[in-house]
A and B are shown apart, each in its own frame.
Chain A
Amino acid sequence: MKTLIIIPAYNEQENIETVVENLKQNYSQYDYIIVNDGSKDHTAEICRKNKYHFIDLPVNLGLAGAFQAGLRYAYAYGYDMAIQYDGDGQHDAKYISSMIDAMQSGNYDIVIGSRFCDKKKPRTMRMLGNTMISFAIRLTTGKRINDPTAGMRLFNKRMIHLFSHNINYGPEPDTISYLLHCGANISEVQVEMHERVAGVSYLSMGKSIRYMLNMFISILFVQFFRPKEMI
């Protein structure tokens, strides 16, 4: 099974080398592709200098666009599975194999690398949004997703096709919720995540409220009106 690690990177000059070198040395059984999302720093130069595999987006598209570019690549080169993997060193590649095992044994469409599968969610402000989205998904689909905002997700071939060719299929919890409605098999596997090593996150504090509003309207309301994709 051909597996592709998709690494969206926006201004990750401090982290990208560590992340990719780790993948190249210890996890060479998987292919990887960096998607440089119009970074303003030296991310592209670093990739070029080290001869990394990377797609260089000429303008910034945001996470959804960068990830979709990676999925288009996965689709074009016939990959069976693709995993969304952060370029900032938060994700640990040692869990990829257990996620792939879970996908193959359970015939799942999406496997989420969850922080709170076996472990309890800490009751902090940062996790409040996570809990609320999880509750909204439970309310509307009846399925339990413990860590809907986790950024490490494994997609099978069918999902690669779906995500790479459609509008409103961002790598976000509302898409997960919508796909549950459509009857997709989605599972979680326990993983650990590191604190980010350097640089700033995609999601700033100011955008968080807007993000939550989008997620809630999408999960609690809009998804009931979206045409059901046959999965």
Chain B
Amino acid sequence: MSTVLRIILIIVAALNSLWIIMRIRKAQVKIEDSVFWFLFSIFLVFIGIFPSVVDWGAHLIGVQSSVNFIFLSIIFILILKLFRMSIRISQLESKLQTFVEIYALKHINPKECTENIEEKNSDK
């Protein structure tokens, strides 16, 4: 693993953390949602500092290049995150749907409703 790549990993981790901290400062993200990105940054720094762990992991599963092992592990982590986010979006959408339905039902104006029905009846 080249020194340049290790430095890039650490810089990206730092930028990633910085960016999410800015978002917290602007009150645009919940702290509990930022936790994943901090852990992800720690992971990037860790493999940047200890490339021997990556070499060992690559050897273990039979990947020739350590760099490919880094790509593989990052892809796996991001797939898991994506999966969790899909589920969360689904849950959010169904919650929103329930909310809108209940809200609309509670805010029916009884007068308007009966007027519409009366109009219909008078049309006949």
Q: Which of B21, B24, B35, B103 contacts A58 (CB 8 A)?
A: B103
Main secondary structure on A side of the interface with B: loop
Residue of A nearest to B92 (CB): A59
CB neighbours (8 Å) of B35 from chain A are 213-214, 217-218
In the assembled complex, the CB of A54 is this many whole angstroms from the nearest CB of chain B, namely 14
| Chain A positions 209-231 with a Cβ under 8 Å from a chain B Cβ | 213-214, 217-218, 221-222, 225-227
| Chain B positions 11-47 with a Cβ under 8 Å from a chain A Cβ | 21, 24-25, 27-28, 30-32, 34-35, 38-39
Chain A: interface residue count, which band? 10 to 19
Main secondary structure on B side of the interface with A: helix
Count of chain A to chain B residue pairs whose CB atoms are closer than 8 Å in the complex: 42
Which of B55-63, B72-80, B94-102, B112-120 lies on the face that meets chain A? Answer: B94-102
User: When each residue 181-197 of chain A gets 1 if its CB lies under 8 Å from chain B and 0 otherwise, what string results?
Assistant: 00000000000000000
Chain B: interface residue count, which band? 10 to 19
Known A-B contacts A226-B24, A226-B25; the reply to A58 vs B31 at CB < 8 A is no
Which positions in B face A, CB cutoff 8 Å? 21, 24-25, 27-28, 30-32, 34-35, 38-39, 95, 98-99, 102-103
